[in-house]
Amino acid sequence: GPGPTACLSVGSASAFSRTAPPYQLLHSAPRPGRFRFGYARSSAVGPGCAVLDQAFARYWRLLRYAGPRAPGEGPEAAGAPWIYLTVCLLPAGLETFSQLIWRDEDGTFYLNKTDIVDFPRFAHRGLLLDTSRHYLPLRAILETLDVMAYNKFNVFHWHIVDDPSFPYESAAFPELSRKGAYNPATHVYTLNDVKLVIEYARLRGIRVISEFDTPGHTLSWGPGAPGLLTPCYAGSIPSGAYGPVNPILNTTYQFMTELFREVSTVFPDFYLHLGGDEVDFTCWRSNPKIQAFMQWMGFGQDYAKLESFYIQRLLNIVSSYGKGYVVWQEVFDNGVKVKPDTIIHVWRENAGPYQQEVARVTKAGYRALLSAPWYLNRISYGQDWQAAYQVEPLEFEGSPEQKALVIGGEACMWGEFVDVTNLTPRLWPRAGAIAERLWSNKTVRDLQDAYIRLADFRCTLLRRGIPAQPLFTGYCDAEYSGF
């Protein structure tokens, strides 16, 4: 659902105000050693709330990495002994608070008296990582979750399996990773790993949406699930190669029923991403049994109908587990009947302007998720964060009702050329541009201002131990040293 309103007020008895924050020095807090986060008496939750307890501990540690700021009018002797932080959306509010703290040259921490009203513009602010084309060690995923929280992303879209490898260790079908992972001993995610990722994300206010993409992008599933993929034919004999999932066998649907029963349980989020993109019909066409099935079903030569047939049955399976689903745009384009609460993920860059696709999806009454302009794996020389920043997700022809159906977007880091060696600097701070587009007001578009803040934020990331790459020439006080 839409995100709850978050509000952050720093300073005693300050009223929420949308006016520019008065830039006054309140007092020198927090001092390491004395400053504490705590629950106010009026707080609805108290100690024992894991998300808050953990967030307090985490941000207390992060405060020591506060960076320099131009001092205001000089320290004021008297100050309020307490800071009240009214936060309805955690831990984003604590992140904002931590970004407000700065240090002077003597190492004293300061906080300006500040009124802030803050809530996200879009409810779905996602980041896609691809752990199939290259395996990402757990620590790379956890580090990414940390930085996502710093950027107020709230959805980790885990594109966990694909053609090249199947690192997800399934309890129901252990052969999938045993035969489909790059190395079944080292390049897998155990159930414990997955649970750790989900819990680590939860404590940072991040949902984990897993993607098990079918019927295409499944080559790595084949070795561990005999009979699942379509045998391709060369003339009248099997060529030895395999194509997409075989949609004409009952065993296929029995398999999917079992697999998604497990996946639905392991991943607690309401939504699953079911993929459905880029299905190549060549293999299906070559297979005589599929040809016969097409005829029998009256599909003629329209293989999109066969794809729809498969997807339809898959959606029914997933629905039966009480889950909602996200699918890539092809599922909508091919006219598959989907439930009204389906989220359509718009990704194609070259199939006409993506804005038209967003308009079509929302006109049909579906909710839309935008990724087309945000494929961060596509790199180029120069400051490409600016193009990502200048995207306006609601800039398409449509009614206000249609605009309301755009629930957000996702930055995608596909894995063809990315692994643990280059993931973090390639992702940050470029994804930060998208984070601000999805969080901040529509009117926040000033590139120069964004550059200054983003360059500064990048130095904050370095201080927190994250190797975020530079935007342009310059330096940070503390360069990255965590080799």
Partner 1 sequence: MQGQRGAMEPARLFLGILCASAALAASSLHQRPPQPEFLLQEPELELGESPSGSLWPLPRSLRILPRQLQLAPARFQLVHGPGSTAGPGCGLLQDAFRRYYEYIFGYSKWQNQGQRPLPAGTELLQLQVIIGSKDSECDNYPNITSNEACEYLIWYELFSLILLGLETFSQLVYEDDYGTFLINESEITDYPRFAHRGILLDTSRHFLPLKSILTNLDAMAFNKFNVLHWHVVDDHSFPYQSVTFPELSGKGSYSYDHVYTPTDVHLVIDYARLRGIRVIPEFDSPGHTQSWGKGQKDLLTPCFNGEHWSGSYGPVNPILNTTYHFMTDLFKEISGVFPDAYIHLGGDEVDFTCWKSNPDVTEFMKQQGFGIDYAKLESYYIQKILDIVSSANKGYIVWQEVFDKGVKIKPDTIVEVWISSLYTTELSRVTGAGFTTILAAPWYLDYISYGQDWKKYYSIEPLNFPGCEKQKKLVIGGEACLWGEFVDATNLTPRLWPRASAVGERLWSSENVTNIQDAYNRLVKHRCRMLRRGIAAEPLFVGYCDPEYRGR
Residues lying near partner 1 in the complex (CB under 8 A) are found at 133-135, 137, 164-165, 182-183, 186-187, 377-383, 415-422, 424-426, 462, 467-475, 477-483
**Distance separating alpha carbons of residues 448 and 471, to the nearest angstrom:** 12
Closer of 124 and 134 to partner 1 (Cβ)? 134
Residue in 25, 32, 42, 39 with CA at minimum distance from that of residue 63: 32
Cα 165 from chain centroid (whole Å): 21
Tokens matching residue 306? 């066969």
**Residue 27 carries which side chain, given as an amino acid letter?**
H
- What does the H/E/C string look like for 259-324? HHHHHHHHCCCCEEEEECCCCCCHHHHHCHHHHHHHHHHCCCCCHHHHHHHHHHHHHHHHHHCCCE
Rounded to whole angstroms, the Cα distance separating 251 from 254 reads 5
Shortest distance (Å) from residue 139 CB to partner 1: 8
CB of 478 to partner 1, least distance (A): 8
Q: CB 143 → partner 1: shortest distance, Å?
A: 9
To partner 1, the closest distance from the beta carbon of 280 in angstroms equals 14
Distance of alpha carbon 153 from alpha carbon 146, whole angstroms = 10
Residues designated catalytic: 278
Distance CA 119, CA 126 (A): 16
Going by C-alpha positions, the residue among 311, 251, 255 that lies closest to residue 303 is 311
Which residues in 160-174 are b (16+ Cβ under 10 Å) and which e?
A: bbbbbbbbbbbeebe
Please give the sequence-ordered ranges of beta strands (E in DSSP) within 331-438, or none if there are none: 343-346, 367-370, 406-413
C-beta closer to partner 1: residue 157 or 430: 430
Residue 473 DSSP code? S
| Least distance between partner 1 and beta carbon 136 (Å) | 9
Nearer of residues 137 and 324 to partner 1, judged by Cβ: 137
- E runs forming strands in 118-199: 124-130, 155-159
Residue recorded with tokens 């590139």: 447
How many Cβ atoms from other residues are within 10 Å of residue 352's Cβ?
A: 9
Helix (H, G, I), strand (E, B) or coil at 435: helix
Nearer residue to partner 1 within complex by CB, 262 or 419: 419
Min. distance of Cβ 268 from partner 1 in angstroms?
Answer: 28
**SS3 assignment, position 330:** helix
With respect to partner 1, which residue has the nearer C-beta, 115 or 143? 143
228, 277, 230: which is closest to 255 by C-alpha?
A: 228
Cα–Cα distance, 158 to 153 (Å, whole number)? 14
Which of residues 73 and 479 has its CB atom nearest to partner 1 in the complex?
479
CB of 77 to partner 1, least distance (A): 31
State in angstroms the smallest separation of the CB of 244 from partner 1.
Answer: 19
**C-alpha to C-alpha distance for 402 and 421, rounded to whole angstroms:** 41
Residues 6+ apart with CB under 8 A from 46: 39
Q: How far is the CB of 138 from partner 1 (least distance, A)?
A: 11
Q: Which residue has the tokens 């020389």?
A: 381
78, 29 contact by CB (below 8 A): no
C-alpha dist (Å) from residue 309 to 299, 316, 334: 10, 11, 11
